[in-house]
Amino acid sequence: MACPDSPLLMKLVSFIILAFLVTNLNSQTQCKNFRSIISFGDSIADTENLLSLSDPNDLPGSAFPPYGESFLNHPTGRFSDGRLIIDFIAEFLDLPLVPPFYGSQHASFEKGVNFAVAGATALEPSFLERRGIHSSTTNFSLGVQLRSFKESLHCLRVSLSDCIDMIENALILMGEIGGNDYNFALFQRKAIEEVKELVPRVIATISSATTELVRMGGRTFLVPGNFPLGCSAAYLTLYQTSNKEEYDPLTGCLTWLNDFGKYHSEQLQTELNRLKNLYPNVNIIYADYYNALLCLYQEPTKFGFIKRPLPACCGLGGLYNFNFTRKCGSLGVESCNDPSKYVNWDGIHMTEAAYRWISEGLLNGPYAIPPFNWSCLNSKIKKKKSLDTLDLL
């Protein structure tokens, strides 16, 4: 998929698409005024769960500055300098930021709930351990998160019809999940052929969880693919080589790792198409995280980023400003002067600025497949959307 020619053109196209959808009742997805967001996943969507689950004497890096410096000017448990994709989606829908479930004393789900935990895998950690793939981050797999959701419904003291209504009118964000299954293996330098064997199992797990939520009443799902791993400062540092043929001449990313990311995303899309045929009355939207982020690396200056966007904003040393032993959040590791000019935040996660553009590409095209139908947006959101568009025209 080609990048939009510019942020301005991206907005113009979005404006035309919105006008078309308003007059076309046969659009590909059913329009909903979502009342809440229900989220599952890993650090890409974690809004404080890992922090709440952690030992106070062994807190994750996201608990320390400079994390959060661009949002509330202090760490919020998010693995970025500011807001995440889930935050921008909530703001777009005029909903409160989605509260983390773990550690919460008063989960009501009225405006949404987030089960995503940094370090989470799609597959069970015990399965990965049997394969020699080790992780000490967390054991809150997708299956554990889904069980937490189902168990929590019993504690809400609401009727079955209210539960179904809540799930039916929520936007359910299924990830990103599965990235850590591959990360933990690749960080241990497992052969790519061995890592590739995990893909069908990861896809099946995502599909199974989505199916279970459909049977519980879920009607709209946003299911992200993987990012272009070969553009990650962590991988560029770990697999750095003098062999120029391993790098994409346009971006400087490792082509074999990006090929793997594309493979996962293609397999996921195939499975989602199968689910769409199985449940024709359910909106299952593929979120193309791969191409949405790749565009920022291909044409960074068009989106307001520095010409060489691969180094991390927050890191220490080396060609890509990343060090596995002294990561962002560690004592003495500082961030760049202006994170809004960087795509990569800490070597693994993106900056708020990058997440903003990815969110824009999902909500207004072209990276949601099929695109969202916003023809029934409530008047308050429509007015805000129109003003945002006109500001850029």
Spatial separation of the C-alpha atoms in residues 116 and 145, rounded to whole Å: 7
Residue whose entry in the numeric block shows the structure tokens 């490792």: 254
Q: What are phi and psi for residue 44, nearest 5 degrees?
A: -65, -25
The rounded distance, in Å, linking the Cα atoms of 265 and 271 is 10
Residue 211 — left, alpha, or beta (φ > 0 → left; ψ -120 to 50 → alpha)?
A: alpha
What region, left, alpha or beta, does residue 304 occupy, with left being phi > 0 and alpha being psi -120 to 50 degrees?
Answer: left
Neighbour tally for 56: CB within 10 Å:
6
Q: Is the distance from CB of 213 to CB of 172 less than 8 angstroms?
A: yes
Catalytic position from the list 87, 346, 359, 375: 346
Q: Which of 70, 349, 359, 375 is catalytic?
A: 349
Pick the closest to residue 78 from 110, 111, 39 (CA basis): 39
Phi, psi of 335, rounded to the nearest 5 degrees: -105, 170
154 annotated active-site: no
112-114 β-sheet, strand order = 112-114, 36-40, 170-174, 220-224, 283-287, 368-369
The one catalytic residue in 43, 62, 80, 359 is 43
Contact partners, residue 273, CB within 8 Å, separation at least 6: none
Q: Are 14 and 63 in contact (CB under 8 A)?
A: no
Cross-strand pairs, 113: 38
Query: Does the annotation mark 134 as catalytic?
Result: no
Query: Is 43 a known active-site residue?
Result: yes
Which of the residues are catalytic? 43, 346, 349
